[in-house]
Structure 1
């Protein structure tokens, strides 16, 4: 799973959001390291929708423009949980190797 896909799923984990809301939440979640452009976002959303990890929640007109809200599906929640566990396991392996390196005095 790509980092943008992981962050989009994470952004949708607590509530449905519209496109710009997802962009803002991804920026906040990543501490400003991931700045999705709207075109990139909709490419990610198309893939996630095609994989049935997110779904269209609703549409509403706001200031004369159509806003589409997306939500995390149950499959999406399971995929996010699996990816979060995989990343945590990889991070723990890296931390363990670094601890061993410093314990051996190799710095």
Structure 2
């Protein structure tokens, strides 16, 4: 399922602007970060509420983190560890994303 389809299936407008970034762009960035760290995760499993929380959390990271080395994306994913673990992300995969 592509990124737009995931958002549409949860009734989230893919072009919704989230801190001057669309929801679609954020999910692409998060997907790229997961791929960069060789982490397979199906974003389509997330509920609308969970996706909206992740989108909101990403907007907050824009003010705190720079964009190099997927810092914003990693911070967003780490903030949502509980949600991601619910859908199968392992501690080892979370540790790959950590800044340590």
Interval containing the TM-score (normalised by the shorter chain)? under 0.3
| Greater relative contact order structure (CA < 8 Å, 6+ sep) | 1
Structure ranking higher in strand proportion: 1
Structure ranking higher in helix proportion: 2
Larger Rg: 1
Q: TM-score, normalised by structure 2?
A: 0.27
